[in-house]
Amino acid sequence: MTRSRPYSEPPNQPEFLLDRNLGKTVPTRLVELGWRIHLIAEEFPDDAQDIPDEAWIAYGPEHGWHPLCKDGRIKTRAHERQPLVDEAGVLFYLDNQQLPIAEMVRRIHGGEG
């Protein structure tokens, strides 16, 4: 029997769009753990410095990706949440901006970071 994909990559594995506020090490470690990610800095010019949150948040679901950040305040901002409503999207976030990298990875991945 032949397989079109390696065992480690299940079909229809979710993809995520990571905000720059997660740094560079967190995405690297998630990729090492098998995550499929896209970096906001790779999708928008100038590291997305001039892109409002609602624009990058909308961009994720428009491409079938789930936005992931560490800005829990977004949940209190209707204009930033609206793209998720419009696109029936889901935003994942860490609600503690002071976590060490290993703890961020552990909480996102759900195991050892």
DSSP 4-44: SS-TTS-TT--EEEE-GGGTTHHHHHHHHTT-EEEEHHHHS
**Confidence (pLDDT) at 76:** 87
Please state the domain count of the chain: 1
Burial of 39 (0-12, 13-18, 19+ CB in 10 A): middle
What average pLDDT does the chain have? 86
In this prediction the pTM is: 0.82
Residue 4, in any domain of the structure: no
Residue 17, in any domain of the structure: no
Distances (CA, A) of 93 to 17, 27, 42, 71: 11, 14, 20, 6
Q: How confident is the model at residue 97 (pLDDT cuts 50, 70, 90)?
A: confident
Residue 43, in any domain of the structure: yes
Residue 99, in any domain of the structure: yes
Domain residue limits at 99: 33-109
Residue 21, in any domain of the structure: no
Residue 94, in any domain of the structure: yes
Residue 105, in any domain of the structure: yes
**Confidence (pLDDT) at 2:** 40
Residue 26, in any domain of the structure: no
